[in-house]
Amino acid sequence: MKKQKIYSIERKQARWGFIFTIPCLAFFAIFSFYPIIYAFLTSFTNRQAIGRNHSFVGLENYIYIFTKNNGGFPLSNSIRATIVFTLGTFVPMIVISLIVAAFLMQLRKDRYRGFFQLMYYMPAVLSSVVAAAIWMIIFDPRGLMNQVSNFVMRTTGIDYNWLVDPLMLQVSTMIIYFWKYIGYFVILFITGLASIPPTIYEAATVDGSSRWHTFWRITLPLLKPTTAMVSIMAMLQCLKTFSTQFMLYQGGSPRAPIDVITMNIYFTGIRNGRLGRASAMSIVLFVIMLVFTYLQLVANRSSEDVEY
């Protein structure tokens, strides 16, 4: 007589859990894993856009992008532009979004908090094209940014060349990105802050802890998991930045200072039709993102220990 298998409740639940994740896994497999694998395979070929024939070229594309200047737009410059942009954007974004979130949490009335959350989040829903168009007007030599800069720097009539000077152009892309996405990270931090039990703050108050002391000794340590998650997300988003730089380039700004990896991939693959080479660049970007994420996870490892 055949013996009937008996499953534990946990195992049954795990099975259902797996069944429920199948649609999500299928989605990721089709729209994420497959393109990554396909790009990886394409990076070993000399495939060109539209052309139907291509052949295996081994590591030729990788050797090329690391040793040649790619028609005046070397990958090394793109890596530099990407890292400068990422560091210049995500570090201030994490710090300031945390500060803003902490301030918003101090607001006693929910409707005020809701209003400011909405205000901060609004730019995130704007399309990048609209955002860039707005900022092109602000950065115009006759625009608001020069007026503010002249006021702050106590100068008169100086053109700070926000869209022209290589350094200022990089700063401009950082400002646009910062403006557009800070609200998103503020919301994430507010969610993290709201999950800290109020009893801990009450106990601290009873023990005579000051607000400043409470923030440093209670809020920040308990917020570590959120900070780790937000910083990884922000960093990955910054590494993938494209539309801000592309729109400024379309508006006439020079490409080299803001030629981030994604933009180089776009020009190499779509405009110049070298799909094999562009795929190799995208794999390099993937590896950079993987390495940075791993480093951040290692740096934040202790965050998993937080318990309320």
Partner 1 sequence: MFSVISLLLSCQRQAEEVVIEYWTHADEKREELEARLIDEFESEYPGIKVERRVLSSAELLDMVPSSLEAGEGPVLFNLSSEEISSLLISGALEPVDGSILDTSLFIDGSFEGVTLGDKIYGIPREYTNWCLYVNKAALDEAGLPLPRTWEDIVGIAESLSVHDGPILRNRVFDFRYPYYLTFFIPMVEQLGGSLVGPDGSFVYGDEAWIKALSFMQEWGPLGKNLGSPTLVNARTLFNTEDSLMCLSGLYQEERIKEQNPEFYGSDRWAVLPFPVFEDSVADVSGLHYMHFFLVNAARSEREKEAGWLLASFFVDHADQYLEEVGLLIPLRDMIEGDKVQEKPFGDVFISDLGRSHAVYSGEHASEIQNLIGEAIENVMLRGMSPEQAVASLRASVNYLFAR
Chain residues that interact with partner 1, rule: CB under 8 A: 48-52, 68-72, 136, 140-142, 146, 156-159, 161, 163-166, 250-257, 267, 270-273
CB 57, CB 45: distance < 8 Å? yes
C-beta closer to partner 1: residue 54 or 211: 54
Point out which residues pair with 23 in neighbouring strands: none
C-beta closer to partner 1: residue 176 or 186: 176
C-beta closer to partner 1: residue 15 or 68: 68
Phi, psi of 132 (to 5 degrees): -65, -40
Helix pair angle (275-299, 224-239), 10° resolution: 160
- The CA-CA-CA angle for residues 34, 36, 40, to 5°, reads 115
Q: How far is the CB of 289 from partner 1 (least distance, A)?
A: 24
Ramachandran class of 181: left when φ > 0, alpha when ψ lies in -120 to 50, beta otherwise: alpha
DSSP H helices, 29-109, are 34-42, 60-67, 75-106
Rounded CA separation 166/176 (Å): 16
Q: How far is the CB of 292 from partner 1 (least distance, A)?
A: 29
What 3-state class would DSSP assign to 112?
Answer: helix
C-beta closer to partner 1: residue 166 or 197: 166
Q: How far is the CB of 180 from partner 1 (least distance, A)?
A: 20
Q: How far is the CB of 252 from partner 1 (least distance, A)?
A: 3
Q: How far is the CB of 69 from partner 1 (least distance, A)?
A: 8
Nearest to 174 by CA among 241, 101, 261: 241
Q: How far is the CB of 62 from partner 1 (least distance, A)?
A: 17
- The CA-CA-CA angle for residues 242, 243, 245, to 5°, reads 70
C-beta closer to partner 1: residue 183 or 269: 269
